[in-house]
């Protein structure tokens, strides 16, 4: 039975992170499904929010000299901004520091203690004393070290409350055996089932070593473990504590969307908590994959974290949303590349969709004075296809297969473009006897566009609206029901003004601009120093190979204000090195100087010249710009070239 209540949640985002493509992905996917379901007549609630407790927040606040509450009040705003940026249609935004949530968590905790499902025991685990955090064995560094700071971990024991998770495992297995869609996609379902069958231990749900969290009711030296706290947000937002009617309305329709890394919390721990509470289990939990960037793992140290704010600014919101949901089968891992995004903008958006709109409106304007003609029958192949596309989109959306839904829509758009080529309206327009045929063609094209806007609306709400505006329709596609669409109803409409939906991006110019920007950044990097670097070990330092060298040639690089192209002699070989020291020396001053060269730096191209090393210099900087600079040299300048510096 298909209940018409749809309650979709993103995970609550941990505020100690900065919003990146992963957050944007989940939020966009939830938004698209929420908008789609609304257009299908569902009553929808879309919840997102922030996870604000835990050691990392406490530590970060201490470092800034402010209270954790002040810190989270400030930084949770970045995630609200992300919602606004993405045009997310969320109905609620919950924070775990809100009263409604804290009270719910405490009430649930108390209830579980009372019924014997939470009990006191001793927790023991590997602990990093300086970081004040337990490290699970699965994420320990080599030789039982802390993955964050590399220091050795110590075994620590403390009193802790435990949730009797083990007790309810058989019930959960039974539920999943009957509800194969409760965990999606299938690969995650299998993963969860085998995990459950291997047994689940009772879970430690409180800490005495942590202060920033929700206190255990009646035993305030304990703070409730952050994951136990966080999961409950889905229930606190719909009135578990004080609005049973509201809860009973929304809860049976609950669906969680998560990244695949947090699936055990959502498909094991959370349902076990719900069983213990006597609450029904989520209808569906969908785990999506991760993004790599240009084929590489995304990480802060690589500096390749995709910033959604930057992407939207550069390419526009709807193309970004479209790309996220079209590029990769939802559930799989995907690769983000700006080049691929530009490719989609040019082919799918500018060429297929944009051209269909342009050509159609132009013809209606020139052949029919801007008024959509009517005709006796609508029974074109397009009209037949439209019913089939709606069905295909629906079954894809029910599986969260956004890419499949969009593929179906683009097949339809492609068919409409082909319909123009086949019917050749420009020929029909020249022949008075073909007037009825021309009406038929134009009306069918107009209807194809009117429907296309509805079909793309969940993923590209603004674009859909812009299409309808150009078609002369005042209402917004996202506020329209799919069921109300009737092929032919657009007859008699007066079209609006035309504008280009998606300007084509000149790939060559785009590549050139990117390359130039990269060079600028590299040049800036080459001349910049950072005040404080993280601590390194002697072994790290030993990996830097430095040797005595002599500058033998110095040339200008015409395109660069800062760089010289130098030839340096290491005794055993000569190399080309680019050095950002032009402002401080003339070429004559440099030739003959003995310097220290880092010899095992990865070669980089700077302003078109490959640089094979770096000359060491000391400088005084102001606002990132060197005010004075001097080159390092060995005290005895007659040291043999190539001598190792250590």
Residue 135 CB, shortest distance to Zn ion, in Å, is: 8
- The radius of gyration of the chain from alpha carbons, rounded to an integer in Å, stands at 31
254-259 and 291-293 beta bridge pairing: unpaired
DSSP 1: -
**DSSP string across 477-537:** GGGS-GGG--TTTTTTPBP-----SSPPP-HHHHHHHHHHHHHHHHHHHHH---S-PPP--
> For residue 221, what are its two tokens?
């030296």
Half-sphere exposure of 581 (CA within 13 A, CB side): 23
**Beta carbon nearer to Zn ion, 63 or 509:** 63
Residue 63 CB, shortest distance to Zn ion, in Å, is: 15
Q: What's the farthest any 2 CA atoms get from each other in the chain?
A: 98
Q: What are phi and psi of 335, to 5 degrees?
A: -115, 130
Residue 132 CB, shortest distance to Zn ion, in Å, is: 9
Residue 54 CB, shortest distance to Zn ion, in Å, is: 15
Interacting residues with Zn ion between 117 and 176 (CB under 5 A) = 128, 131, 146, 148-149
**Beta carbon nearer to Zn ion, 126 or 502:** 126
- The answer to the question of residue 394 lying near Zn ion (CB under 5 A) is no
> For residue 51, what are its two tokens?
């996870």
Closest by CA to 21, choosing from 230, 292, 339, is: 292
**DSSP string across 436-469:** HHHHHHHHHHHHHHHHHHHHHTTT-HHHHHHHHH
- In sequence order, the β-bridge partners of residue 614 are 598
Residue 398 CB, shortest distance to Zn ion, in Å, is: 45
* Three-class secondary structure of residue 191 per DSSP: helix
**Beta carbon nearer to Zn ion, 146 or 396:** 146
Distance CA 29, CA 400 (A): 8
| Number of residues counted as binding Zn ion (CB under 5 A) | 5
Residue 161 CB, shortest distance to Zn ion, in Å, is: 25
Residue 133 CB, shortest distance to Zn ion, in Å, is: 7
183-184 and 206-207 beta bridge pairing: unpaired
* Cβ-based neighbour number of residue 158 at 10 Å: 16
Distance CA 355, CA 342 (A): 17
Interacting residues with Zn ion between 323 and 382 (CB under 5 A) = none
Torsion angle in degrees (nearest 10) through CA of 391, 396, 398, 400: -160
Report helix angle 308-315 to 21-39, nearest 10: 60
Residue 134 CB, shortest distance to Zn ion, in Å, is: 11
Give the per-residue contact string, 16-55, with Zn ion (x = CB under 5 A; - = no): ----------------------------------------
Under 8 Å between Cβ of 378 and 486: no
Q: Which residue is nearest to Zn ion (CB)?
A: 146
Q: Which residues here bind Zn ion, judged by CB under 5 A? A: 128, 131, 146, 148-149
């Amino acid at each position: 039975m298909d209940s018409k209540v749809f309650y979709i949640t993103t995970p609550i985002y941990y505020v100690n992170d900065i919003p990146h493509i992963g957050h944007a992905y989940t939020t966009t996917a939830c938004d698209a499904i929420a908008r789609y379901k609304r257009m299908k007549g569902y009553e929808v609630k879309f919840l997102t929010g922030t996870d604000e407790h835990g050691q990392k927040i406490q530590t970060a606040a201490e470092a800034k000299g402010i209270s954790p509450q002040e810190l989270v009040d400030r930084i949770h705003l970045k995630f609200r901004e992300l919602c606004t940026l993405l045009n997310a249609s969320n109905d609620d935004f919950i924070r775990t520091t809100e009263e409604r949530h804290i009270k719910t968590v405490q009430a649930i905790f108390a209830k579980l203690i009372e019924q014997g499902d939470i009990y006191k025991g001793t927790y023991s685990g590997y602990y990093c004393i300086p970081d004040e955090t337990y490290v699970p064995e699965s994420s320990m560094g080599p030789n039982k070290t802390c993955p964050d700071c590399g220091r050795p971990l110590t075994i620590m024991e403390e009193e802790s409350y435990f949730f009797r998770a083990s007790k309810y495992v058989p019930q959960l297995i039974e539920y999943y055996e009957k509800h194969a869609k409760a965990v999606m996609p299938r690969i995650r379902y299998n993963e969860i089932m085998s995990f459950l069958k291997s047994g689940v231990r009772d879970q430690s749900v409180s800490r005495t070593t942590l202060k920033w969290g929700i206190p255990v009711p009646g035993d305030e030296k304990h703070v409730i473990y952050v994951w136990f706290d966080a999961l409950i947000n889905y229930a606190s937002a719909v009135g578990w504590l004080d609005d049973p009617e509201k809860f009973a309305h929304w809860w049976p329709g609950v669906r969680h969307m998560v990244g695949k890394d947090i699936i055990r919390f959502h498909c094991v721990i959370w349902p076990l908590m719900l069983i213990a509470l006597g609450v029904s289990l989520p209808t569906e939990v969908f785990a999506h994959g991760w993004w790599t960037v240009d084929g590489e793992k995304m990480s802060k140290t690589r500096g390749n974290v995709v910033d959604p704010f930057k992407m939207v600014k550069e390419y526009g919101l709807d193309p970004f949303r479209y790309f996220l949901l079209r590029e990769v089968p939802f559930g799989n891992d995907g690769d983000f590349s700006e080049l691929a995004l530009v490719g989609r903008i040019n082919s799918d958006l500018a060429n297929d969709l944009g051209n269909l709109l342009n050509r159609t409106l132009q013809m209606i304007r020139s052949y029919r004075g801007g008024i959509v003609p009517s005709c006796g029958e609508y029974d074109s192949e397009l009209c037949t296809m439209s019913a089939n596309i709606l069905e295909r989109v629906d079954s894809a959306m029910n599986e969260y297969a956004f890419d499949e839904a969009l593929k179906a829509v683009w097949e339809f758009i492609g068919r409409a473009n082909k319909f123009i080529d086949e019917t050749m309206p420009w020929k029909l327009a020249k022949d008075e006897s073909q007037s009825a045929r021309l009406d038929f063609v134009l009306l069918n094209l107009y209807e194809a566009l009117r429907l296309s806007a509805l079909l793309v609306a969940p993923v590209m709400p603004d674009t859909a609206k812009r299409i309808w505006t150009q078609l002369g329709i005042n209402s917004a596609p996202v506020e329209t029901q799919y069921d109300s669409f009737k092929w032919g109803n657009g007859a008699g409409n007066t079209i609006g003004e035309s504008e280009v939906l998606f300007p084509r991006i000149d790939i060559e110019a785009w590549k050139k601009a990117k390359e130039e920007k990269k060079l600028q950044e590299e040049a800036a990097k080459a001349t910049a120093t950072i005040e404080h670097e993280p601590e390194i070990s002697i072994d790290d330092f030993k990996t830097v190979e430095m040797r005595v060298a002599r500058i033998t040639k110095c040339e200008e690089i015409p395109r660069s204000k800062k760089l010289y192209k130098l030839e340096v002699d290491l005794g055993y070989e000569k190399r080309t090195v680019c050095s950002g020291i032009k402002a401080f020396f003339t070429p004559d001053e440099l030739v003959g100087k003995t310097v220290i060269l880092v010899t095992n730096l990865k070669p980089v191209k700077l302003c078109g010249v490959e640089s094979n090393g770096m000359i060491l210099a000391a400088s005084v900087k102001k606002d990132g710009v060197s005010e004075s600079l001097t080159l390092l040299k060995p005290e005895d300048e007659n040291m043999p070239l190539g001598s190792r510096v250590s």
